[in-house]
Chain A
Amino acid sequence: MSEFVSFTLGGISFGMVYAAIGLSLVLIWRATRILNFAQGAMAMLTTFIALGIIHATGSYWAGFAGALAAGLVLGALVERVVIRPVENKPPFNAVIVTIGLLVALEGLAGIIYGGQYRSFPAAMSINGLRVGSTHIALSPADLFVIGSVLVVALLLAIVFRYTPVGLRMRAAAFQPDIARLLGVRVGRVLTLGWALAGLIGALAGVLVSPSTFLYPNSMDSIFVLGFTAAVLGGLDSPLGTVLGGLVLGIVLNYVGGYLGSDLETLFGLLLLVAVLMIRPAGLFSTARTRQV
């Protein structure tokens, strides 16, 4: 029983990281119907930038802020430079472009930083909290992971729901032509969407790297699991993605705990395939039809 609780708690913080990657994918998917395969690689690069800042300044928080800022800039830059030329082409073109970007960014990181595994500091202590006399499988660092993803998700929801910028973003996502006729500068809105996605991806990179080490491919499996979280949520739903990430993190921790950690990624892929086959609209979606 205590083992079960322990695995459950341990899965939550990983789940929130998958949720963060999933959110960044959903943000772009909703706005442009493009799946950004380079999201993980972008997060890897911004985490390297964070590590550089941490080494230079000695401050974790400077690195943390630097990663988020770099994610914002990188996201905007990618949209403006790489995606804009293929935006009105068939969606397959954009998919190929993002895969190319993934390969290019990982190659670039290999050239600049080399291929060795680097450790990345956690925000807070990774020792389990004490409840009474026992340590539980939840550390202050885990709580920080969970809290920061929840805060970002909540802020995002508030921006989307209650601000003029959010209204523009939703209008541009649902009906770009109508939005333009109403004066929405859709191009700028798309850039902002990619920038926000870059920020959330960067957050995920910084949060997960203490557990995975940092190297040019370090975000590949995290990307796949983040994508799985988004698919569990129906690819269209931010709330569904957070729930999807949570379920995925906990379930994979059971798999790792009871069956062996080698099976985690494999099981994640199987789950992805299963969901796409059985319930492609996502576990939590209400499966509404899309207007064209």
Chain B
Amino acid sequence: MPDGDGTSMLAVEGLSAGYDGILALHDVSITVPRATITAVLGANGAGKTTLLRTISGLVQARRGRVSLAGTDLAGRKPEEIVRAGVSHVPEGRGVIAELTVEENLRLGALWRRDRADRAAALAAAYELFPPLASRSRKPAATLSGGERQMLVIGRALMARPRLLLLDEPSLGLAPKVVASLMHLVRKLRDDTGLTVLLVEQNARSALAIADQGVVLNLGRTVAVADAATLAADAALRHHYLGF
């Protein structure tokens, strides 16, 4: 099995999940190798967000299993799954606008026992995103769209995750900001060995940095291949990716 071989970080096998009797995911299987970026692509309603929400425990799986570096995550709550090493940055960013920038960041590592460790994580977040450091005491509501994106990614990294789930990070951002965001995700993979599952509507910029791509349609997997192959598949691009 791919779990035991020590190279895969995430293994999703035969996963079905949904809301109130409607299945949004049917029998989806994905293997994400360590220190790679996997782009999850597809139109609205393809099941991309449900996939991430099921991995992080917000949605319960009906069938199939999710395992992180060989550990089964079945039945665990989101607050336990983050402790296992999965950080999920949800769609629409999820900044807690009423809290300050620093409070948002600190929340990301509050469950970690070691105080020095938490302080180091905070310093690292400010180093990675200097604009956040100068606004640390301001309410998060005052940040721009790009700064909010920095905040939620910085907050997710506070947990020192092994696997980062990013849901539509480019949504509503200017092209220049999207480019620097994608650059950052690649840098995290290369410098820290982070494994990333990246859900995107913007298939072109996602495939540009991804190692592997998964295309979902109506909750089913229609293609799994390395990113370059997917980007070169004219029919697939035309039908599912829109570029």
Contact = CB atoms under 8 A, between A and B. Distances in A.
B83 interface: yes
A174 B96 contact: yes
Interface string B140-184: 000000000000000100010000000000000000000000000
Contacts of A179: 96, 107
A177 B58 contact: yes
Nearest to B93: A178
B88 interface: yes
A182 B159 contact: yes
B131 interface: no
B107 A171 contact: yes
Contacts of A174: 96-99
A130 interface: no
A171 B83 CA distance: 18
Nearest to A177: B58
Nearest to A165: B110
A170 B88 CA distance: 20
Interface string B87-112: 11010001011110001001110110
B58 A181 contact: yes
Contacts of A180: 58, 77-79
Interface in B11-64: 56, 58
A11 B200 CA distance: 61
B110 A167 contact: yes
Given A170-B99, A177-B58, A184 B107 contact: yes
Given A181-B78, A182-B107, A184-B79, A170 B98 contact: yes
A254 B233 CA distance: 81
Contacts of B110: 164, 167-168, 182-184
B111 A183 contact: yes
Contacts of B230: none
Interface of A: 164, 167-168, 170-171, 174-175, 177-186, 291
Contacts of B106: 164, 167
Nearest to B165: A181
A167 B140 CA distance: 14
A171 B96 CA distance: 7
Nearest to A291: B97
B96 A178 contact: yes
Contacts of A186: 79
9 contacts: A174-B97, A174-B98, A177-B78, A181-B82, A181-B88, A181-B90, A181-B94, A182-B155, A183-B110
A168 B56 CA distance: 19
A175 B94 contact: yes
Contacts of A181: 56, 58, 78-79, 82, 87-88, 90, 94
Contacts of A168: 107, 110
A164 B110 CA distance: 7
A291 B96 CA distance: 10
A89 to B, nearest CB: 14
Contacts of B79: 180-181, 183-186
Indicate the member of A180, A182, A183, A186 with the most B CB atoms within 10 Å: A182
